[in-house]
Structure 1
Amino acid sequence: MKVNQIKIKKDMKVSELIEEFDGSGVLGSGRVSRACNLLAKMIADEDTNVFMSLGGPLVPGGLRFVISDMIKNGQVNLIVSSGANITHDLLESFGGSHYRDVGGDDEELNSQGIGRIADVYTSSEDFEIFEKEITKIFEKIASEKKVVSIQELLYEVGLLIDDENSILANAARNNVPIFAPGLIDSMFGLQLWMFNQDHDFTVDAVKDMHYLSDIVFNSEKVGGILLGGGLTKHYTLASNLLKGGLDMAIQITMDRPETGSLSGAPLEEAKSWSKAKCGSDLATVIGDVTVIFPLILAGALDKLDSD
């Protein structure tokens, strides 16, 4: 079978571009096409529960609305997030922002109260507001409950957020549970620890596993959207181990497999651990999530609209 040369035309739809990618072989464009087609299949299958993992600075990188809209539209059923993405989602809900085109030496940025995430910037003033607002929320929740799981805590926080674009708020209102096994490793976690110094309030991380395992066992099929690597990727994979693994999954990562790290491991490797089923449909794309995921999601939705 010959490789088709990609043709670009004026005013072409995203799905048409993906179709051009489809016949271009197994380099990057071909992988993008495969991931797009698999994502469309995942979203369209009513028997598949879609688990999404959020690793890396996806909210600072501009994907907050993308993720929130997928929750609103019923395209994702469960989220595993880093503590950082939760923190940055709340930062914006409390009136803060993420900034660009600031530049400057990092030591000078430090003196100005500016934190840098590659070429995205945050303000210490916004984090000061975050600290005050999240403490108020902790106080309200702790006045009603003394022991909660991480997922329950994030659900309760989401119910108290008045922001139609918030990931946490939309997840709570649409019954999409958010798990965050590394929550303590974030500004959210730091404030939670400080709050616990003088409050009788316990967060039980193990309690999450009861609820999560019930979701897995009650799912006819599970599909994974793995954005970035690390703990969130592994928690999503490992949560399905007791049922033989994911039925289908896509991952987008900048990491490579040669070091043996999980972040760069091809999804096929998960089959050896029963974290992805033998015969499962898998697609890995090496690249920047903030570029590739909006592209394949737009293509998948375009494809579904035309079917």
Structure 2
Amino acid sequence: MSMKVNQMKVKEKMTVQQLIDEFSLSGVLGAGKLAKASNLLAEMIKDEETAVFLSLAGPLVPGGMRNIIADLIKNKQIDLLITSGANITHDLLESFGGNHYSGLGFDDEKLNHGGIGRIGDVYTKSTDFEVFEKKIAIIFNKIYEKVGSNPISIKDFLHNIGSFIEDKNSILKLANQNNIPIFAPGLIDSMLGLQLWMFNQENNLILDATGDMDDLSNIVFENEKVGAVLLGGGLPKHYTLASNLLKGGVDSAIQITMDRAETGSLSGAPLEEAKSWSKAKCGSNLVSVVGDVTILFPLILAGALDKIS
């Protein structure tokens, strides 16, 4: 049955939720999907029976989303975080007094000579990483003194790092304080992983990646429902979905991606494809939004928080 498309209106002094409502009434194209995602996120956060799994891929901390993620943890609006090692690295960079910068131009050879690394139009300074290297080595040593050569899961390793962070805005510190587990299956593929490898040239701090699966599967089975919020794709997206496979898949999921499906890539795969693998349940509520996470997720989240406040 066909339905009339409602033409959207933008008024003065609109709240975010009022704008999302206009998107919802339109119900078409990207606006409609964004509204569905915002409304679904509100349901996930509000439903006490739903554990919310947040996955982060791409340079979201360097891209300005650190406080958004930190607040979700502090307010216990997510139950766990699955992320790339890079986002953890950049959280620590800021915790140790470093920053991320803008407006330095795209002459990469000149940037290299000046000790500047570029992530799109975000920049880091090698001097900040030098501080990071010194401070993280001190923390590694403290953890090593505590656990010795006994294997430690990546989740517990990150929990321990968080206990030594002083920055009150740190994702790792807030996760430690609020007992929100962080999983990072690709941790070694980051500057944090490189520093751990260098530390282990003279030590034996062993990470047990399979140990994380025990903890993650326990969380899956302990909760009535799981809702996944997938910001970007890659390993964090797959780890989030695959962790729910033994229980038949997630009950609901939102993904924001700019990748395409035609190549068969996981990052661009429509969420419906996950049903064929039992990574999303048949009948699950799934919404995919195409676009830049740093634009879309703050809008989706603001609308969801307006709705449940």
Measure, in 2, the Cα distance between the counterparts of 1:255 and 1:193.
32
What is aligned with 1:103?
Answer: 105
What is aligned with 2:251?
Answer: 247
What is aligned with 1:4?
Answer: 6
List per-residue Cα deviations over 1:118-140 (Å, max 9, x = no partner).
00000000000000000000000
Q: TM-score, normalised to structure 1's length? A: 0.98
Amino acid at match of 2:195: Q
Measure, in 1, the Cα distance between the counterparts of 2:166 and 2:205.
24
For residue 223 of structure 1, report the CA deviation from its aligned partner. 0.5
Query: Which is worse superposed, 131-140 or 193-202?
Result: 193-202
Amino acid at match of 2:291: G
Secondary structure at 1:164 match in 2? coil
What is aligned with 1:50?
Answer: 52
- The two structures, once aligned, show a CA RMSD in angstroms of 0.7
For residue 102 of structure 1, report the CA deviation from its aligned partner. 1.0
For residue 74 of structure 1, report the CA deviation from its aligned partner. 1.0
Measure, in 1, the Cα distance between the counterparts of 2:91 and 2:244.
27
Amino acid at match of 2:187: L
Measure, in 1, the Cα distance between the counterparts of 2:163 and 2:52.
22
Amino acid at match of 1:110: N
Matches within 5 A, 1:276-287: 276-287=280-291
Matches within 5 A, 1:35-184: 35-146=37-148, 147-184=151-188
Candidates 177, 194, 198, aligned match of 1:194: 198
What is aligned with 2:34?
Answer: 32
Gapped regions of structure 2 (runs ≥ 5): none
Identity %: 68
For residue 104 of structure 1, report the CA deviation from its aligned partner. 4.0
Measure, in 2, the Cα distance between the counterparts of 1:148 and 1:66.
29
What is aligned with 2:294?
Answer: 290
For residue 294 of structure 1, report the CA deviation from its aligned partner. 0.3
Measure, in 1, the Cα distance between the counterparts of 2:135 and 2:80.
26
Q: TM-score, normalised to structure 2's length? A: 0.98
4+ runs of 1 displaced by more than 3 Å? none
Contact 2:227 2:253 in 1 (8 A): yes
Measure, in 1, the Cα distance between the counterparts of 2:7 and 2:102.
37
For residue 200 of structure 1, report the CA deviation from its aligned partner. 2.3
Measure, in 2, the Cα distance between the counterparts of 1:26 and 1:159.
46
Contact 2:96 2:132 in 1 (8 A): yes
